[in-house]
Structure 1
Amino acid sequence: MKRNTDELWNEASRGEPESPLFDSNDVDVAVVIGTGPAGATLALELARAGQRVVLFEAGPWIDPASFINDDRAAFEQMSWTDPREATGTWQLARDFPGSPAWMGKLVGGTANLWTGLTPRFKAHELRASETYGRIPDSTLIDWPIGLNDLENGYDQAERAVGATHRQGRPPLPANNNYKVVANGAARIGYTHYATGPYAVNAEPYDCRPATIQDGFASQGDKQRSKWTPLVSEIPRALASGLVDLRTRCHVTRITLGANGRADGVVFADADGILHRQRARFISVACNAIETARLLLLSSTAGHQNGLANGSDQVGRNYMRHTSGVIYAEFEQPVHMYRGEPMAGLIADESRHDPSRGFVGGYYFEMISQGLASFSQFNEPGGWGVEFASRMEAYTRTSALWICGEDLPQATNRVTLSDSATDALGLPVPVVHYDDHSNDIAMRMHAYDRAEELFSAVGAVRITTAPPLPSGHNLGTARMSLDAESGVVDPYGRAHEVDNLFISDGSVFPTSGAANPTLTIMSLVYRQAAHIIGALRSGEL
């Protein structure tokens, strides 16, 4: 008999564990650090193969029923608010110097905050160096894998998240914001636009209900219709009896044995007390900023500049997607905040066409914000009559977000602060970023095209806003064929430590234009198969 979502949830979910399942000196467990889409997917795949896993999460377990449908309160409840520093010429260093990136700190990770778009990479984006040629001030390299290496994982990931428009699943209905955007797209000649693919159920699927279109995807989904590891992979992993979830446990260091292999981790519990967990192998899936930070914090003999960092590539090539927001006001209400907030995608510009004045491409993605977010990000620090008039037009406003390829640069990087420390006394990460000239040209092209789109459907005022704190953090431990160009091999295995794996978006050599979660999961399915094969052969 098919079980409904509540039955599965009640059976599989146990919330905060009462005590560890496995001994801290057990050398046969795998350690996975991070419970977002990468770590949770890997943990579940390993458990399905019979491997015991200790899964670390720095944040708490929060039952979806406890999510708060309020922008500011939800941010405090779910976000990674540990201190950071931002440097460079990007606007976020001025507007949000202590929080240049937006990440989750709870079981399920940043997926609890994401809105769910799941496009795939395109072939040219994996061959950016070959396709674009030499770009000054960029460290472009080609991916060491091709689109054919990702396709099976993409299929698996689309089934796991229940992506709409894919594999026979229906689309989400169009809300008012999408209708404005789609009509504008049609009038200026675009043809590739839809309400997805999107990882929120249009109808019941995989023990999750259909969306009630409440508009609160970025505040966590109380209804569990949006896919996240918290409501899917994590409960299934726990139900296997082979995954030991350690919440409120912040891993501070990866340790090496005398043989040069990773043999465990040091972590601080909720009270700040340090412990050690031994391991057969380790996967780091902490999001690109914290993954780089952990590797840098794990410096030791033979790895003085950070673990697996003989190439000096750890932390470098940080990417976040070229972005910006366009707001359009109309005479009549739009109510953009009703319905799924990002269920609208225009793909026509996601191509490589250097005649536009830049390489790579971008998507237009429908975006809607609660009033608190709208006021904060429309014009950071805004004040006065002009700003107030924008706020008064909130119910009459439609919006688009730009998501475009961001070129890697060696100087865009994550390092450790020389002066600032967190609550555990660890150096905080410093995120340095400067826009590449290609990014600026792409953003300006997108602003112009969005203005054409909204003007075509009668917008009475169009304004632009700078990039939001970065939700797509990529590239700080990139994959490469050789150890000089990157940090890990095509399976995410560290070139210098053969039982250490990186499983998140840190491994991306280039950002592409697509939202990264589906590609991260595709890579993890591929990585999991490689690890399982190595375990069965005795090589790992």
Structure 2
Amino acid sequence: MTHPSGDRFGTPIDLDTEAVVIIGSGAGGGTVAYELTRRGIPCVVLEAGPYLRPDDYENDEWAAFQQMAWLDHRTTSGGYRVSKDFPHLPAWIVKAVGGSTTHWSGATPRFREYEFRTRTYYGDVEGANLLDWPITLEELAPYYDLAEKAIGSTHRHGRPPLPANNNYKVLAEGARRVGYLHYATGPYGTNAEPYDGRPASIQDGFNFQGDKNTSKWSTAVREIPRALETGRCDLRARAHAVQVTHDARGRANGVHYLDAEGNLHRQAARVVCVAGNSIETPRLLLMSASALHPDGLANSSGQLGRNYMRHTTGTVYARFDQPVRMYRGETMAGIVADEARLDTSRGFVGGYYLETLSLGPAFLAAFADPGAWGREFTEILDAYSHTAGLWIVGEDLPQESNRVTLNTDATDQWGLPVPNVNFADHPNDVALREHGYQRADLLYEAVGALGIHHTPPYPATHNLGTARMSARPEDGVVNAHGEAHDVPGLFVSDGSVMTTGAAANPTLTIVALAIRQAEHIASRFAAGDL
């Protein structure tokens, strides 16, 4: 049976034709698709969600959430606050062409040199499963350049900054008064002026529900359309991958997937790139267990699904006597970088950023203090127009017990076991978050805040680890180019490969790694090695 034509885009590739099959079309998968097709390599892209265009985006936060979010059944455990407040929504990510790049805020800081070598710099932290990356910042730097140019990051390569909105002005003045030195409106992945075929930002506020103006970079705006234009990309939307297969020698050779009606198809593959986010990627590989890989595909180390990271986060909202209107302008175009440093004198390893943040009234009500009621809660909402907000985003430490597993007691709409996300903070995470709260309080008090509220972490937008890179096969799942140690021809192309999480928002690094991986795959194709 052929895939329904209404969910198929680009140049059809026969189901029996070997191609590079890419599962997922977000920052990693969409980038790999474009980088390979522009080099002449045919690709089939399987995307579980629909293909939404800018005109399709709902300009209403709840309607957009229902339209875009990955709402398939999931379960949680581990005792962290999210498992209590949102037991079936551990992650706030997108199920659509472009993945979470259609939902991301746009911050694009780079990882720092020490963050690629945390085992070396942090030492033996009890309870943490630290490991140095098998690559260095020096090796990744040229690909960071390429990623920043693809995204159009402001403040980089001669591109101008975005203008300051009121939320940033409050942040910046508070930062100045407490002695911080490194703060700006970027780097940020939304155009301050027309660039690369996309218009300048119109400062239209929230962009978590998709950017109708297309000034914000996403693979749905840039990489996927360009891959389709090459004539070598077969994009199949509403195509949910359920198994990666291999031949008798153990080499990846195909993908089984379900179409929108639940019909099962098989696409032959010369190479398989899995880019389903750090929850769906290990879930798929665990479901792909075989006689050769009884514990899950690419899981000879036992590390598949382990070391799940979501960044250490917390949000701080401050009320003022004058209007701030934090919802105007770009959502996260404001970053204080002074705390993103190696300094164990603060009582923890790793660092964090303070980044401007605003949510709409409905989301603020849902996330400010889930389950709360009474006057203290309504004060937060009553002061909405007079409120400034920032997000703490910092490194959380990998732990083997923080992991994604298959929950065979619960099934999704296809009757498949759902992923269970088990997570608990490491004491280092708690110390870092509390330090961030204290510094944010000082920052806002310095500019006259009348009241300050801390929100607990909510469903993760940064999902990392679970198929980490390692130099030795026994320490991780994939090698320095993202190829599985024990399954030739199987690559992981998303944030799952991150050995550690660093403090920086991950999208830029995912794109840089994907560009590097595609270059590697193409060179091996040319050499006849794949």
Same fold by TM-score, threshold 0.5 exceeded? yes
Measure how far apart 1:19 and its partner are.
Answer: 8.4
Q: Deviations over 1:322-344 (max 9, x none)?
A: 00001100011100000101100
1:272 is matched with which residue: 235, 238, 262? 262
How far the C-alpha of 1:18 sits from its partner, in A, is 6.1
2:14 to 7, 10, 23: 23
1:472-499 Cα offsets, whole Å, 9 max, x none, are 0000000001110000000001000110
Equivalent residue, structure 2, for 1:393: 383
Residues 341-350 or 524-533, more deviating: 524-533
1:249 correspondence with 2:270: no
Confirm or deny: 8 A CA contact 2:77 2:83 kept in the other structure: yes
Q: Distance in 1 between matches of 2:31 and 2:482?
A: 14
User: Following TM superposition, by how much is the alpha carbon of 1:528 offset from its aligned partner in structure 2, in angstroms?
Assistant: 1.0
Q: Find the residue that maps to 1:150 and give its secondary structure.
A: helix
Report the counterpart of residue 253 of structure 2 in structure 1.
263
* Equivalent pair of 1:15/1:62 in contact (CA under 8 Å): no
AA of the residue aligned to 1:217: N
CA distance in structure 2 between the partners assigned to 1:31 and 1:304 by the alignment: 23
Tell me the distance in 1 between the aligned counterparts of 2:9 and 2:463. Answer: 33
Pairs within 5 Å for 1:166-245: 166-245=156-235
Partner of 2:141: 151
Pairwise CA RMSD: 1.1
Q: Distance in 1 between the 2:201 and 2:470 partners?
A: 40
Which residue does the alignment assign to 1:436? Answer: 426
Determine the structure 2 residue equivalent to 1:127: 117
Q: Please tell me whether the aligned partners of residues 15 and 61 of structure 1 are also in contact (alpha carbons under 8 angstroms).
A: no
Q: Deviations over 1:205-244 (max 9, x none)?
A: 0100001111121110000000001110011000000000
1:236-278: per-residue Cα shift (whole Å, max 9, x none)?
A: 0000000000000000000111121111010000001101000
Q: Quote the offset at 1:17 in angstroms.
A: 2.8
Structure 1 residue identity aligned to 2:179? G
Question: Which consecutive residues of structure 1, in runs of 5 or more, have no partner in the other structure?
Answer: 1-13
Equivalent in the alignment of 2:70: 80
| SS of residue in 1 equivalent to 2:441 | helix
Which SS does the other structure have where 2:107 is aligned?
A: coil
What's 2:31 paired with?
A: 41
> Which residue of the partner structure matches residue 356 of structure 1?
346
1:439-465 per-residue CA deviation (whole Å, 9 max, x = no partner) reads: 000000010111000000000001100
Aligned length: 526
Counterparts of 2:8 and 2:263, CA distance in 1:
18
* Conserved 8 A contact 2:9-2:236: no
Residue 293 of structure 1 is matched in structure 2 by: 283
Mapped contact 2:315–2:392 kept (Cα < 8 A): yes
Counterpart of 2:269, as a letter, is A
Give the whole-Å Cα distance in 2 for the aligned partners of 1:249 and 1:112.
19
Q: Distance in 1 between matches of 2:355 and 2:81?
A: 21
- Letter of the 1:246 partner, please give it: R
Match of 1:484 among 474, 477, 500: 474
1:201 offset after TM fit, Å? 0.5
Aligned to 2:322: 332
CA contact (8 A) 2:9 2:235 kept: no
Match of 1:459 in 2: 449
Aligned to 2:509: 519
Q: Which moved more, 1:188-197 or 1:64-73?
A: 64-73
Give me the whole-angstrom Cα distance separating, in 2, the residues matched to 1:236 and 1:16: 18
The percent of aligned pairs where both chains have the same amino acid is 56
- Residue in 1 that maps onto 2:52: 62
CA distance in 1, matches of 2:7, 2:204: 28
**TM-score normalised by the chain length of structure 1:** 0.96
- 8 Å contact 2:354–2:392 — kept in the other structure? yes
Q: Which AA in structure 2 matches 1:119?
A: P
1:117–1:197 Cα contact (<8 Å) kept: yes
Who is 2:61 aligned against? 71
Instruction: List, as ranges, runs of 4+ consecutive aligned residues in structure 1 with deviation greater than 2 Å.
Output: 14-20
Find the aligned partners of 1:286 and 1:400 in 2 and give their Cα distance: 29
**Preserved contact between residue 335 and residue 396 of structure 1 (Cα < 8 Å):** yes
Does 2:80 correspond to 1:90? yes
- Residue type of the alignment partner of 2:192: A
Assess if the C-alpha contact under 8 Å between 2:11 and 2:228 holds in 1: no
For 2:335 and 2:154, the matched residues in 1 are separated by 12
Secondary structure of the equivalent of 2:365?
helix
* Contact preservation (8 Å) 1:282, 1:501: yes
Q: Which amino acid aligns with 1:24?
A: L
- Equivalent residue letter for 2:443: L
**Alpha-carbon offset, residue 193 of structure 1:** 0.2
- Cα-to-partner distance string for 1:505-535 (whole Å, 9 max, x where unaligned): 0000100000001001111111111111110
**Equivalent residues in 2 for 1:293-442 (5 A)?**
293-442=283-432
- Note if contact 1:20-1:246 (Cα within 8 Å) is conserved in structure 2: no
SS across alignment from 2:62: helix
Query: Residue 298 and residue 182 in structure 1: after superposition, are their counterparts in 2 closer, same or farther (change >3 A)?
Result: same
Q: Is the 8 A contact 2:11 2:231 kept in 1?
A: no
Matched, 1:163 2:163: no
Contact kept? 2:274, 2:491, Cα under 8 Å: yes
2:522 is aligned to 532
* d(CA) in 2 for partners of 1:157, 1:292: 25
Name the structure 2 match of 1:106.
96
Mapped partners of 2:129, 2:336: distance in 1: 28
